[in-house]
Structure 1
């Protein structure tokens, strides 16, 4: 299989046309992605190109690029580039950047007060950076509002016009930055607190009319403390309490076996339940249904009710038949239900499909459809079904088709793993002759063996016939052999030998030399990133492929054992009761 790779060429991006707005924005996005994710070196020339492009890129585009770099670990040059931009753009990068302590300290003087405020809320910065931030406290915690901002704030009684405070004024270019005062003005709790402060004589406003951050922070803290204290009480009042589990109930049914009356448990969970057959949300075992057909009494029948009501869970029920005294006609059952005792088991064999496995299978279905469409369209381009296509694009279409086929194989593996996990794997009884199957699999893996310069040699005894689902057996052996061939070295021979031992068929796979250093447990943990270093390796990793093969072998009634020099697959042999020989029918 071919691993999916992307060719992010810095030279190609730098040579793009930036004379148009679209070209400038596209080049900006690509350069930021390459440098921010360390796919290319952030040298001075490239950073200078970004600074030259910045005036031609809208603020919204630059902000989106900054958000895309969150937790991408950009280098210090990129962090410095975004830190000197508008605070809306700088904040996402400053909140998650991870650079050296000396780089932070060198960057702090060039940051705005808002940028340093963002860093103060981080708890993962080195101690030296925190001490350096404290040195800016006297400057950062005094607001300098423009006359226009003061005039607007005074109109809503949030700020009073004041003379500029005697602090150093930093002249910044015009941007979309909004002062903290104007942002806080829109908070309902702040507006209410200030309204009370202007009407409460005990809380006179500051003598100079300035806006004090410490005061508003104290009011916000008081509001949050009050909310936290009232939180549990409000939750108890607004949210319904969880239902208490019912320990017993009485019921009556009609002549059809449907429960029509219940006392002692949730009616919604039990009304309409049939004792004659299993329902969608509840199930009774054969004791109750058999007694219903005979119109006889029953005891300790198992009942399972799903859901979240007080009646959900396992029960043991018993009932006595009722007959009309005048006509002798059967009228139904009257009975009781109780929870099973500790020594009893009220479990019924049911399909326990986990929600996670079902969601994964749904995701696999959603992925398979577009992947098939991409593969089909690439094949149409490669075969020139839509018209003449240059050789370069035909080659690229062929690569896309091969990569999508590899992706579809990985999707099928995930689907099978989810089916095994949710016990939804549909296996049909059949017999599989291994000699022709191994030859067919070796032929299919010929291109992969050629890519690895390896040789596949298959030997199977005539009586090596497996009892099991033919599709599952073929997939198990094919995936296992493909994983081993993908790990083979140049000139290596992978031998597969199948023999029969009593009631089992034993299939031995040579272990490639590249996997000889791994223990059995370590072999199952080889991830996709490590395996992707080799051409044709499984997309999901060697470990995942081997774990899937082991689980599938178990579903088929066999086992996969990882030895030091070979992998041994044991599967049930197909036999006939009379002759004791393999059946080829």
Structure 2
């Protein structure tokens, strides 16, 4: 019987967090509030599954927990997304507990519809002041208007008679409504209250439109989620994620912030749009820097500012076109048959299937070379689609530049010989920080594009320099053939290349290099005589990590 050696069976593990809490002191004056806080936090942040026994325990503990403690536990969930069952439990508590929950809860339309009938009139009034609820929920709230504005009258019949100057009356009959028994309807007061709210809402809307905030400050936690805001209304921003996992409906943040967040790098003028009618609504340009603990160096989040764009700036996030996902699908479907063609051509060229005449072997070699170029173009299209749809995942590492350039130049030997040109590398070495494969892809694509435009006897010098402590500068001579395109006008070239050139065109290749440089936290600037690439400098503590792209 065969035996498996060198492996160790790992015990199955399960999360016993809920069991630990339920086994705590549930009935003492100090134990009950502690268990309440723990359960509300665990359920509200979805760290444990929502089980009936946990909700039943909260119901039974409620009378034993002070109102202030219950209200504080509800406020502590600001920015979280508690499940509907917990929202229902807290929203049907005292208004002091329900208020913070109803102001920030994010439920599905049907969950709101199920909750509305069990709320107190004060709770439904809180929801009437929200502008992010689905239209069906807002219409349902309006249907509760007459019931919510029926006022309870706790006076005796004699007191009522004395107030209106008549003889003692029989006890008033209860009015049938959702607000409960013993209610005294005052139609005139209801109409006045409705008119007041209507006028107030109109005035507030006019004020928001006329006096929009011009800037605000914010901070995020280590997960990139906005937790603190100053200068604008908090509700549209709290819970929005720099990693494109925003909780605010309709608000959009472009991929600049997401890419910087994954690298724990600073970013400038990321484009944000906040929808709605608050003073925060509209377009913003957002800039932020990462924060780290001084002692441990642990990443703690971002601190940043936002401002309204000037008239000459655009701030709406660049929405990834629907075609980006379709393009990625097409690229995936093209890669497989192209690999098959290249593999079969190689088998013919190397006579793996038997003897092949020389003309057919030459033809197979040409087909293999063309398939290789096509695969490179497919990879470029896939990379461009990933960048466009903010789906590019990058790792962190320390990348030495000179050995990387030496390998790329060696790969370009055949093209350099064909063009009759040369590349001169600097004697010194420098290192950048970033995803190694992405950095190599960027430099290889950029250098191949420039070499394709060189003339015979032309030499491209590569120079390294340090730009402060934050950036490494890579300067490359611009080929003379591109000189008649002023500045960055070369990015607009959509020419048909020679067979030794870039399959998708010089303009596409340079635009791809520029966009990839931005994803890596750098920049690509094309001047009349030089191409300058800036990338984040590697710090002494930067370690090579596994690539995730």
TM-score by length of 1: 0.44
Which structure's CA Rg is the greater one? 1
